[in-house]
Chains A and B, each alone.
Chain A
Amino acid sequence: MPQITYVQPSGVRRSIPVAPGATVMLTAVANDIAGIVAECGGAAMCATCHVYVDEKCLSLLPPVSEVENEMLDSAASGRRENSRLACQIAMPAGVEEIVVHIPATQN
């Protein structure tokens, strides 16, 4: 089964099996993954579900929308090339694994 792997700043990894279409944010919240705050509940209003997507997975995801782009600029941990909002990325069909790194802080 496809999975989303979350890597904490400490290096601890946890993989959650998911169906295609599952968002990285909701999967984290449902499985009690620390460090994904998601204060606005997935409306791309708060930028507290910021993650760094593993470089190998980056091209598997749809591009950053204008709103996500503007919100990412203000993420509490600095924006990088591989920054995304976890609420805006869903497991694409046919992909086996997405790996995301959780930043040190969201607030």
Chain B
Amino acid sequence: MDRVGVVIVGSGQGGAQVAASLRDEGYLEPILLVGEEQELPYQRPPLSKGYLTGKTPTQELALRSEGFYSSRAISLLIGQRGLRIDRAANQLVLESGRTVGYEHLVLATGARPRSLVVPGAELENVMSLRTYTDALAIHDRLQTARNVVVVGAGFIGLEVAVVANAMGRDVHVIEFADRALKRAVSREVGGFLVEALARRGAKFSFSTGISSLIGHNGKVAAILTSAGTTIAADLVVVGVGVQPNAELASEAGLKVDEGIVVDAQLRTSDPLISAIGDCARFPANFCSNLVRLESVQNAVDQARFVAMRLTKKIAADVKYDKLPWFWSDQGEYRLQIAGVCSSDDDVVIRGDISKGKFSVLRFRGESLTAVESINSAADHMAARKLLAEGASVSRSLAADASQKLSTIVHTS
């Protein structure tokens, strides 16, 4: 049996960052990074944006060169799945049967797309988008597709819809909720992006489910909605959320509840095992419940935190408390979000929605909880600073776009 210092399961952005940050922090023991996918660790965000349009070539997706890992003595085992954790022996059993002992194990197993559970969901050309392989397949189908149906008006769904629409395809977005991006942003921002895309010819159906997918020769040909409408479709992209990859943890007896449950130091219920990124549910100062976030920032910051904790660069009782931020490319509009709000938080508009350059500030009582910015990078960057510092912001001053957001902090 091999024995290494830190074993990381999952070679996405979070897993790769743990390995890199451990070396940056001076960690000297062997590191093993195990990943299911065949590629070197790569960026996922471009998969639904520049990669689909062809603007981002494959070779630009890799997070780091192969030499980066070898020069830092990071053993990279790709195309290999972690099968089982033997906690009593501090070992990870790999699919190949190989067993690796660890001093610390980091689970960065990510999440996988939810599938539609309706008749016809298995038809050809019904696709989800998570991996490079998925993106390659959608990219190929988009070249010849005519009628693209996108199921789900979340980030992935809207980004794919924007790309398909820009390629001249007929695009119809079907969403079960009554509006777009309902879990993520205000009605104002969601509505703005939908209107922008609708002006370019995309169709939207809200409060609508999918009853079945209708096939022809094994390929999808149409969808039947819960409203009884049939919509022609030769490509269906499903973006109805993800479920965390928590099986490895739950089968090892670790606490799992809609994600791998971790404490404020990102330790699972076994202190020799940490979990980070899309798969982890952690306590956050902005929410009374545990939260699970799906973002590059969350994966990277949690990875850095665990690396610092394992190398004792931070005290054992320091809590993870980085401010979450997100981005999405929606054609000519850049959406940037700082902070996390509840859906019923108040809305204060800053700037001019009709000019396509504005921010929506979310307040809970007198507290600023989040800022959603469209083509307003300065607001977003100022908001990240204000929210991280917990600065107090006046609603009326914040709405005045003639004043820089960074200069309107209450000093009282």
Instruction: State the A residues within 8 Å of B (CB).
Output: 26, 29-32, 39-45, 47, 67, 70-71, 73-74
Contact B327 A71 (CB under 8 A): no
Number of chain B interface residues as a range: 20 to 34
Contact A40 B45 (CB under 8 A): yes
Q: Report which of B297, B327, B381, B385 forms a contact with A70, defined as CB distance below 8 A.
A: B381
- Give, as a whole number of angstroms, the nearest-CB distance from A55 to chain B: 26
- Give, as a whole number of angstroms, the nearest-CB distance from A76 to chain B: 11
12 A-B residue pairings within 8 Å (CB atoms): A29-B63, A29-B64, A29-B65, A30-B65, A31-B65, A32-B64, A39-B300, A40-B296, A41-B63, A67-B375, A70-B376, A71-B381
- Give, as a whole number of angstroms, the nearest-CB distance from A72 to chain B: 9
In the bound complex, CA of A55 to CA of B329 (Å): 33
Contact A42 B65 (CB under 8 A): no
The total number of A-B Cβ pairs within 8 Å is 50
Contact A32 B65 (CB under 8 A): yes
Q: Report which of A26, A31, A32, A73 forms a contact with B378, defined as CB distance below 8 A.
A: A73
- Give, as a whole number of angstroms, the nearest-CB distance from B121 to chain A: 32
Interface of B is mostly: helix
Within 8 Å CB of A29, what residues of B?
Answer: 63-65
Within 8 Å CB of B376, what residues of A?
Answer: 70
Within 8 Å CB of B67, what residues of A?
Answer: 32
- Give, as a whole number of angstroms, the nearest-CB distance from A88 to chain B: 12
Contact B382 A74 (CB under 8 A): yes
Contact B45 A74 (CB under 8 A): no
Contact B296 A39 (CB under 8 A): yes
Known pairs A39-B297, A39-B300, A40-B45; A70 contacts B377 (CB<8 A): yes
Asked if B143 is at the interface (CB within 8 A of a chain A CB), the reply is no
Other A-B contacts than A74-B382, A74-B385, 6 sampled, CB-CB below 8 A, are A29-B64, A29-B65, A31-B65, A41-B45, A67-B334, A67-B375
Known pairs A39-B296, A74-B385; A45 contacts B65 (CB<8 A): no
Among residues of A, the one whose C-beta sits closest to the C-beta of B43 is: A41
Contact A73 B71 (CB under 8 A): no
Within 8 Å CB of B329, what residues of A?
Answer: 43
Within 8 Å CB of B45, what residues of A?
Answer: 40-41, 43
Among residues of B, the one whose C-beta sits closest to the C-beta of A75 is: B381
In the bound complex, CA of A77 to CA of B250 (Å): 43
- Give, as a whole number of angstroms, the nearest-CB distance from A86 to chain B: 14
Asked if B336 is at the interface (CB within 8 A of a chain A CB), the reply is yes
How does the 8 Å CB contact mask read for B372-402 relative to A, with 1 for contact and 0 for none? 0001111001101100000000000000000
Among residues of B, the one whose C-beta sits closest to the C-beta of A31 is: B65
In the bound complex, CA of A42 to CA of B375 (Å): 17
Within 8 Å CB of A42, what residues of B?
Answer: 60
Interface residues of B in 288-304 (CB under 8 A from A): 296-297, 300
Asked if B154 is at the interface (CB within 8 A of a chain A CB), the reply is no
Contact B381 A74 (CB under 8 A): yes
In the bound complex, CA of A74 to CA of B377 (Å): 10
Within 8 Å CB of B71, what residues of A?
Answer: 32
